[in-house]
Amino acid sequence: MEEGNHIGLPLRFNNRSFDLNPHPMQFHIITIFPELFTSPLSVSLLKKAQDRGVVSCVVHNLRDYAIGKHRSTDDTPYGGGRGMVMKPEPVVAALEGVCQPLSQPWRILLSPQGALLTQAKVAELAARQTLVFVCGRYEGVDERIRAFVDEEVSVGDYILSGGEIAALVVIDAVARLVPGVVGRKESTQEESFSDGLLEYPQYTRPEAFRGLRVPEVLLSGNHAEIARWRRKQALLRTRERRPDLLARATLSADDKRWLAQESNE
């Protein structure tokens, strides 16, 4: 039993997910490819979170909101050019249909033109109760769709075939911050990432693998020394790989002293 409580009941009778989070975090997804969400939402963390009732995910088929014989969701661009553009009517009908019964839906368009997703943005989104994602397709969406969403988010400077995988990225990252989704130990670790440094190197058995040994300090049992080593490794690694992160990280006086000393050697 990893966690007890003051009245000595097993954790499952005092589940903090129910105490702290009486309403599940809701994710609604509007997409022309609902099947893309089947496995990602059916395994691992997101499955457990849904089973526990702290997260709920609803996938909505955009085609259900399209009209006409062909139920088209895209059309050729005005002014010519190649590719197809997502039509505004089905998307806006879907947004209205999906949002109508919801209390304070926050509508997000996934596209490379959005603001870049950061852990700070993830935390901001996790503070909301209901997120509604519109998955654009790569050739583009009618510009007027933007008037019907609250914000536009990008998961990185590259082109995906559609916003679906981007939506899954956002959902996974946000769900991790919902109380009761990730264990207390892991979420404390996550906080340590939010100090803005990369993680220290991790090892497990065996002690030697193909001639590569686990650093001696980790076998020492000296927990204070291990903690110091890990902090230094995190600092060094961040300076080497992500100097941009180091520039903005929260550093103690000890950290700064140690980094300065390290660059003189």
* Interaction site with ligand JF5 (CB under 6 A): 110-112, 136, 138, 140-141, 154-156, 159-160, 162-163, 166
Cα distance between residue 243 and residue 249, in whole Å: 10
Taking the complex as a whole, the smallest distance from the CB of residue 141 to ligand JF5 amounts, in Å, to 5
Alpha-carbon dihedral sign for residues 178, 182, 188, 192: negative
Q: At 215, which amino acid appears? A: P
Considering the complex, state which of residue 54 and residue 86 has its C-beta at the smaller distance from ligand JF5. 86
Residue 114 C-beta: closest distance to ligand JF5, Å: 7
Is 164 or 255 the residue whose CB approaches ligand JF5 more closely? Answer: 164
- In which element (H, E) is residue 209 found? strand 208-209
Compare residues 136 and 180 and give the one whose CB is closer to ligand JF5: 136
Query: Which residue, judged by CB position, is nearest to ligand JF5 in the bound state?
Result: 136
Contact 154/114 with Cβ under 8 angstroms? yes
Nearer of residues 40 and 136 to ligand JF5, judged by Cβ? 136
Provide the token pair at 166: 């981007």
Residue 259, helix vs strand vs coil: helix
CB of 74 to ligand JF5, least distance (A): 12
Q: Smallest gap, in angstroms, from Cβ of residue 154 to ligand JF5?
A: 4
Cα–Cα distance, 125 to 174 (Å, whole number): 7
Q: 163: left (phi > 0), else alpha (psi -120 to 50), else beta?
A: alpha
Whose Cβ is closer to ligand JF5: residue 57's or residue 108's?
108
**Please, what is the minimum distance in Å from the beta carbon of residue 238 to ligand JF5?**
24
